[in-house]
Amino acid sequence: MKKLFAALTLALSLGTLAYAAEPAKAPAASPAAPAVAASATTQAAPAAATAASPTAAPVAAKAAAPVEAPKKIKANKTITIGMFGMIIAATMCVVVWAAKKTKTAADFYAAGGGITGTQNGWAIAGDYMSAASFLGISGLISLYGYDGFMYSVGWLVAYITVLLIVAEPCRNAGKYTLGDILSFRTDPKPVRAIAAISTVAVSTFYLTAQMVGAGKLMQLLLEIPYKTAIIGVGCLMVIYVVFGGMTATTWVQIIKAGLLMSGAFLLSILVMLKSGMNPLQFFHDIVSSTNIQDHVQINVLKDVVKKEGFDYGQRFLEPGLFLKNPLDQISLGMALVLGTAGMPHILMRFFTVPTAQAARKSVVIAMFIIGLFYILTTLLGFGAAIHVTPQGVMAVDKGGNMAAMMLAQKMGGDIAPVVGDLFLAFLCAVAFATILAVVSGLVLAASAAIAHDIYVNVIKDGHADQHEQVRAARITSLCVGAVAIVIGIAAEKQNVAHLVALAFAVASSGNLPVVVLTLFWRKFNTAGVISGLLVGTIAAIGLVMVSPNMTYPSKVAADAKKVYTALEKKAAEGKVLTEKDLKTIADKKAEEAKNLGGTSIMGLDKPLIDLKNPGIISIPLGFIAAILGCLAFPSRRSEEMFDELYVRQNTGIGMAKAVEH
């Protein structure tokens, strides 16, 4: 298995390098495409942003941009499909190998506890580095500079919480699911039922965003019909989980993590070579780019008339372009740092290792890999801003999700057109593998909650043999996969960006408080678990639905009016408007007319709260509700069983012995 993974990664990397060694030819045109709605960063697109062409060449020769913004991104179908075929073939071999080893419920849900710490670390990284991270964060940095980097920091620091609080205790005290941890010293049936609902909700929010992103990516890069793409991704996902269980899912995630790191590293090297491998020159290229300066002035700060003496290039490297509200930054940080420790598909990974030491090791390795990855996405985001230009990125997708793809084709195209096509194809295939790995983990988490918690322990009262448990798990996985396909197709034209915020908000507000209190507070009991999960989850969902994450047509119309009014005022003062200004006025008037009088799906004209992520409100509510519920309905049995749980979580006594894989 290790040889297969190494061979695949090496073959793809060497193939790219071999093409890169060819003599340079005329650079290929930078590609472009509409939005991929799989990322929380699609929220970043300002309502009044325009898909303008670059207005001037950068000051630095290395930051030179094409005269006209690209209008279409198009991958070489032959090369891309070949890359896809290699990845699918390799992962199918994994499934066949894993299926032979998946015989018991422990094999299906936790790979029999036979995954090593190193393997699990790579798998956690593969599970965590989603398409939203790869495409979305690099795009956010390309449009908003420093603020995009803050997203990377939040997700990285999250693993300190996982390492210090939940990794070892969860591995020692649990079995397969979140419900196993919470039900140990509480009334198992209601707790398992509520925990399963929460797990399915979080998984569904995250899964829908990933599925829509997969469909859009395949549709726009390979011109595959959206429905066909969703069905294809869904079928592969179901095959991985139904037949291979956790073992197959783990190795798919490891392969994906290796490919993603290889692609991001190689592209980052090409970006730095443009600046002579000099970090100071790299940041000088950013600040001196007139395209970046114009983007910050017009698209971000909305300064119709340039302020004299204001350094718009330097402003791109300072905070506050996207996360303007300090309270919003704190709230976002809380959700990211605490939400990860409550994500069901992340918690499940700690049940796959044989010892607590391996659990800790896996987190450390995952932190190292994820940290390096986010450093690379920072280089990719700023590199796209320099070489593709923010205007070029926004002409394709106002959320910036195609920035990394466009940069890959641009950097490769500067060497030779075929290298650009090869590099784009490789990253398309990596993004595809990324989505497959993440959705497989999410489907496994959701199906485990339904089959193990609801069917086996609530309906069957724990009386189900191994054959029946595995059959229930596979049937449930098939059903969850089918539902994911249906939801993905139904959500084609919907803005699903807020679903990622919902997933982290629910995980941090509902799941984390009850996990922490279950593990570390003697008095915690059934009432505390139920009240914490319900209040935290409902508060998080409710607050997101009335937050700026939703679309408010009246606000869109008002923003459009503000832009064209400023330009009309400029004309009234006797200043000559450019052709671009006149087009902007016409576009904004049309945008105003289209959205005037509209409301959000909650019937609101504007957000009730200004926070894009409600963590600073909903997380304390989850903790308070859990504590008050516990104190209102004390349980002597829960207190008495705390000592046993405490011993288990610190020693691992009672855990099933790992099997050899």
How many whole angstroms separate alpha carbon 153 and alpha carbon 138? 13
How many whole angstroms separate alpha carbon 306 and alpha carbon 322? 20
How high does pLDDT run on average in the chain? Answer: 80
Query: CB within 8 A of 93, min separation 6: which ones?
Result: 4
Confidence of residue 496 (pLDDT cuts 50, 70, 90): low
Of 379, 370, 368, 404, nearest to 279 by C-alpha is 379
How many whole angstroms separate alpha carbon 489 and alpha carbon 468? 32
Confidence of residue 521 (pLDDT cuts 50, 70, 90): very high
**What angle is formed at CA 549 by the lines to CA 544 and CA 555, rounded to 5 degrees?**
125
Phi, psi of 347 (to 5 degrees): -60, -35
Of 351, 331, 169, 334, nearest to 247 by C-alpha is 351
Whether the per-residue pLDDT at 120 is higher than 70: the answer is yes
pLDDT tens digits, residue range 441-462? 888 888 988 998 898 888 888 8
Burial of 400 by CB count in 10 Å (0-12 exposed, 13-18 middle, 19+ buried)? buried
- Token look-up 């996969």 returns 481
CA dihedral 446, 447, 450, 451 (to 10 degrees): -160
Query: CB within 8 A of 542, min separation 6: which ones?
Result: none
CA distances in angstroms from 543 to 204, 375, 606, listed in the order given: 18, 32, 13
Confidence of residue 219 (pLDDT cuts 50, 70, 90): confident
pLDDT of residue 135: 80
| Residue 402 per-residue DSSP state | T
pTM tops 0.85? no
Burial of 467 by CB count in 10 Å (0-12 exposed, 13-18 middle, 19+ buried)? exposed
Share of the chain above pLDDT 70, in %: 86
Can you tell me the mean pLDDT for 587-612? 82
How many whole angstroms separate alpha carbon 86 and alpha carbon 514? 43
Q: Is 176 helix (H, G, I), strand (E, B) or coil?
A: coil
8 Å CB contact between 347 and 166: yes
Of 252, 1, 246, nearest to 113 by C-alpha is 246
pLDDT of residue 18: 36
pLDDT tens digits, residue range 229-243? 889 888 988 898 998
pLDDT of residue 379: 92
pLDDT tens digits, residue range 274-333? 999 999 999 999 999 999 999 999 888 888 778 888 889 999 998 888 877 888 888 888
pLDDT of residue 121: 92
Whether the per-residue pLDDT at 225 is higher than 80: the answer is yes
Domain annotation for the chain: domains and CATH numbers: 53-492 (1.20.1730)
- Please compute, for residue 631, the number of CA atoms within 13 A of its CA located in the half-sphere on the CB side: 6
- Token look-up 């607590």 returns 356
At 416, list the tokens. 């030779």
Can you tell me the mean pLDDT for 412-438? 86
Whether the per-residue pLDDT at 351 is higher than 70: the answer is yes
pLDDT of residue 10: 36
pLDDT tens digits, residue range 96-108? 999 888 888 888 8
For helices 117-128 and 226-274, what crossing angle results, to 10°?
Answer: 110
pLDDT of residue 291: 92
At 38, list the tokens. 């799989």
Q: Is 593 helix (H, G, I), strand (E, B) or coil?
A: helix
Instruction: For residue 38, give the amino acid letter.
Output: A
CA distances in angstroms from 150 to 28, 333, 336, listed in the order given: 32, 9, 11
Whether the per-residue pLDDT at 400 is higher than 90: the answer is no
How many whole angstroms separate alpha carbon 197 and alpha carbon 252? 27
Looking only at Cα atoms, what is the longest distance across the chain? 84
For the chain, what percentages of helix, strand and coil (3-state, to nearest 5) are there?
Answer: 75, 0, 25
How many whole angstroms separate alpha carbon 588 and alpha carbon 47? 10
pLDDT tens digits, residue range 146-180? 888 877 777 778 878 787 788 888 888 767 888 88
Whether the per-residue pLDDT at 42 is higher than 60: the answer is no
CA distances in angstroms from 182 to 72, 314, 438, listed in the order given: 50, 50, 25
Instruction: For residue 63, give the amino acid letter.
Output: A
pLDDT of residue 72: 63
Confidence of residue 498 (pLDDT cuts 50, 70, 90): low
Can you tell me the mean pLDDT for 378-406? 88
Instruction: For residue 264, give the amino acid letter.
Output: A
pLDDT of residue 628: 95
Can you tell me the mean pLDDT for 496-516? 83
**H, E, C per residue of 81-113:** HHHHHHHHHHHHHHHHHHHHHCCCHHHHHHHHH
Whether the per-residue pLDDT at 511 is higher than 70: the answer is yes
Whether the per-residue pLDDT at 592 is higher than 90: the answer is no
| Consecutive H or E run containing 513 | helix 512-520
